[in-house]
A and B are shown apart, each in its own frame.
Chain A
Amino acid sequence: MVPPDLQKRAPQTREEALRDFRTDQIMAAARRVIGAVGWADASIDKIAEDAGVARSTVYVYFDGRDDLLNQCLAQNRIGLSERVREAVQGADGFEAGLQAFLEAILVYVGEYRAFFAAIMQVRGLDPFFRHDDRPATEVDSIRVEVQAILADLLKQGLHEGLLDEAAMVEATRVMGSMIYGSLMWRVNDPEPVPAADEARSLARTLLFGIARTG
């Protein structure tokens, strides 16, 4: 005899699986469309067409354009943070950790290059863009999440006795800027340098600076 809780759960799980599949399909289409035509022109109609579903189906799963974008970004936030945490955990020591952290971000964002380029353009991560019609707040949670991982990494550097605690607040801010700046270039560059090379340059500059003496 099937336990009552499984009886109840089984159909729900199927429904959830279908829902996950559908939402993934629609979100993948949304990223493609936004990447191709930009946020302003990415209509629900275009996204539905790309996903091969009816317009009304999109509204079954999402409250509208903003909600769809926010859920896309939320999914990216989870994907990015998993990837970055994994990379940092696999690295040996602070310097390797910093390099792995940077490389994982560059690679992940590179996988959604056109989408992130379109979002950065609208949202103002790009230094020269301050649009009033900001589409989403989830972009901010991506930043917060990445900063939290960076803060853990810096704590490790402090723990290893490599870093000076007094300099950490400014250093974190400046490192955040450097990562944004590099990403902004990379997503728009038709032929970016390999992520590993750029991560190495960034990590070395952050750690050792460029001056002849410290």
Chain B
Amino acid sequence: MVAMEATPQAELRARRSPSRSEGQGRAAATRARIVASAGRCFARFGLARTRMDDVAAGAGVSRALVYEYFASKRKLLAVVQREALADWFAAYEAAVADTPSVRAALTAWLGFCLTDSDRHALARAVFVGQEGEGAGAWSEWRIQLRDEWLARLTALLERGIARGELRAGLDAEATALALRGLQVGVTQQVLGDPETGVARERQIAAAIDLMLAGLLPPART
């Protein structure tokens, strides 16, 4: 889902023929720098307290140039959110693409959430947003994130059921909800409470063991 409203003419031209000149490549690079800087600013200050001056300073460009690419702060936020979402799921696809099992895929998923610290700031920017501020657009974005996340988990579980790795009677859709909670929670725990003294790998392994085997002994399952 790529919307065009925030893309300036210069870059649209650059997209049509990316190698035509250095100037067009520079335009795309500038745009990327602005988006990255905005991501850091939203993460740090939130939407309301982020000023276009900060975004410009962080990108090493003038405020006027930022406005040439993005008409408003809200449009810039929409682009940051959209690109973060695309980046997030691209990383997921890459992480699980060649995994042989559901266990490996879940481990890879948790792994990329936890190990790529560049993504933390971006993810935070994505989640920052207060109800009072453009709740409409925000909710639309959040619904998209929720639906894509659950769809991927459900597909992963269905694949596991089809291969006989997971229980045949498993309700994939309902279980996806539980797994999502666990993924987010473990991510929070590892990023939020680094002082627990339990190694990251052990926490991930324990979470995945529990997901796979549950608490009850095999006789009960």
Instruction: Tell me the A residues contacting B by CB distance below 8 Å.
Output: 35-38, 40-41, 114, 117-118, 121, 124-130, 157, 162-164, 167, 170-171, 173-182, 184-185, 188-191, 193, 197-198, 200-202, 204-214
Q: Is the CB of B123 within 8 A of A128?
A: yes
Residue from the set B143, B170, B177, B183 with the largest chain A CB neighbour count within 10 Å: B177
Binary contact track B24-52/A, C-beta < 8 Å → 1, others 0: 00000000000000000000001011000
Q: Does B89 lie at the interface of the complex (its beta carbon under 8 Å from any beta carbon of A)?
A: no
CB distance from B45 to the nearest CB of A (A): 10
Given contacts A163-B215, A212-B164, contact A125 B188 (CB under 8 A): yes
Q: For chain B, what secondary structure do more than half of its interface residues adopt (helix, strand, loop), or is it mixed?
A: helix
Q: Is the CB of B181 within 8 A of A181?
A: yes
Q: Is the CB of B221 within 8 A of A209?
A: yes
Q: Is the CB of A129 within 8 A of B189?
A: no
CB distance from A165 to the nearest CB of B (A): 12
Q: Is the CB of A206 within 8 A of B215?
A: yes
Residue in B closest to A164 when the chains form the complex, CB atoms: B217
CB distance from B177 to the nearest CB of A (A): 5
Q: In the complex, which residues 94-151 of chain B have their Cβ closer than 8 Å to any Cβ of chain A?
A: 102, 113, 120, 123-124, 126-128, 130-132, 139, 142-143, 146
A182-B185, A212-B166 known; 7 other A-B pairs, CB under 8 Å?
Answer: A173-B198, A179-B181, A181-B180, A181-B187, A188-B142, A189-B142, A208-B220
Q: Is the CB of A210 within 8 A of B217?
A: no
Report chain A residues within 8 Å CB of B188.
124-127, 177, 180-181, 184
Given contacts A173-B198, A214-B213, contact A201 B207 (CB under 8 A): no
Query: In the bound complex, what is the Cα–Cα distance between A20 and B218 (angstroms)?
Result: 52
Instruction: Tell me the B residues contacting A by CB distance below 8 Å.
Output: 46, 48-49, 102, 113, 120, 123-124, 126-128, 130-132, 139, 142-143, 146, 157, 160, 164-168, 170-171, 174-175, 177-189, 191-192, 196, 198, 203, 206-207, 209-221
Q: Is the CB of A38 within 8 A of B46?
A: yes
CB distance from B85 to the nearest CB of A (A): 13
Q: Is the CB of A180 within 8 A of B123?
A: no
Report chain A residues within 8 Å CB of B131.
35-36, 38, 114, 117-118
A205's partner among B49, B120, B175, B203 (CB-CB below 8 A) is: B175
Query: In the bound complex, what is the Cα–Cα distance between A212 and B192 (angstroms)?
Result: 33
